[in-house]
Structure 1
Amino acid sequence: MTTSPAIANPRDTYKRQKSTRSNFELYGWVFMRASGVILLVLIFGHLFVNLMVGEGVNAIDFAFVGGKWTSPFWQTWDLVMLWLAMIHGTNGVRTIINDYAERDLTRLWLKIALYTAFVVVTVLGTLVIFTFSPCPVDAPAELLPSVCTA
Structure 2
Amino acid sequence: MTAQSTTQIPDPSTRYRRTGQRGINTEMLSWLFMRVSGVLLVILVFGHLFVNLWLGEGVKGIDFAFVAGKWASPFWQVWDLLMLWLGLIHGGNGVRTIINDYARGSTMRLVLKGLLYFAVVLTIVLGTLVVFTFDPCPVGADPSLLPSICEG
**One fold, TM greater than 0.5?**
yes
Amino acid at match of 1:89: G
- The structure that has the greater radius of gyration is 1
Question: How far apart in 2 are the matches of 1:123 and 1:55?
Answer: 31
Which fold has the larger relative contact order, with Cα–Cα distance below 8 Å and residues 6 or more apart in sequence? 1
Give, in angstroms, the shift of residue 53 of structure 1.
1.3
The gaps in structure 1 that reach 5 residues or longer are none
Structure 1 runs, 4 residues or longer, greater than 3 Å off: 4-10, 14-19
Give, in angstroms, the shift of residue 40 of structure 1.
0.4
SS at match of 2:92: helix
Give, in angstroms, the shift of residue 141 of structure 1.
6.0
Question: How far apart in 2 are the matches of 1:52 and 1:117?
Answer: 33
Contact map agreement 2:71 2:77 (CA 8 A) in 1: yes
Question: How far apart in 1 are the matches of 2:72 and 2:92?
Answer: 29
Question: How far apart in 2 are the matches of 1:142 and 1:6?
Answer: 81
Contact map agreement 2:41 2:87 (CA 8 A) in 1: yes
Give, in angstroms, the shift of residue 140 of structure 1.
1.2
Amino acid at match of 2:142: A
Task: Give the alignment's TM-score, normalised by structure 2.
Answer: 0.83
**2:53 matched residue in structure 1:** 51
Task: Give the alignment's TM-score, normalised by structure 1.
Answer: 0.84
Q: In the TM superposition, what whole-angstrom CA distance separates every residue of 1:39-91 from its partner, at most 9, and x where no partner exists?
A: 00101111111111122211111100000000000000000110000110010
Number of aligned residues: 144
| 2:143 aligned residue (102, 123, 140) | 140
| Distance of aligned partners of 1:9 and 1:36 in 2 relative to their CA distance in 1, 3 Å threshold | closer
Within a 5 Å distance, the mapping from 1:114-133 to structure 2 comes to 114-133=116-135
Within a 5 Å distance, the mapping from 1:1-150 to structure 2 comes to 16=16, 19-21=20-22, 22-137=24-139, 138-140=141-143, 143-146=146-149, 148=150, 150=152
Contact map agreement 1:50 1:56 (CA 8 A) in 2: yes
The gaps in structure 2 that reach 5 residues or longer are none
Give, in angstroms, the shift of residue 9 of structure 1.
8.4
SS at match of 1:106: helix
Amino acid at match of 1:96: I
When the two chains are superposed, the root-mean-square deviation of aligned CA atoms in Å is: 2.7
% identity of equivalent residues: 58
Contact map agreement 1:68 1:74 (CA 8 A) in 2: yes
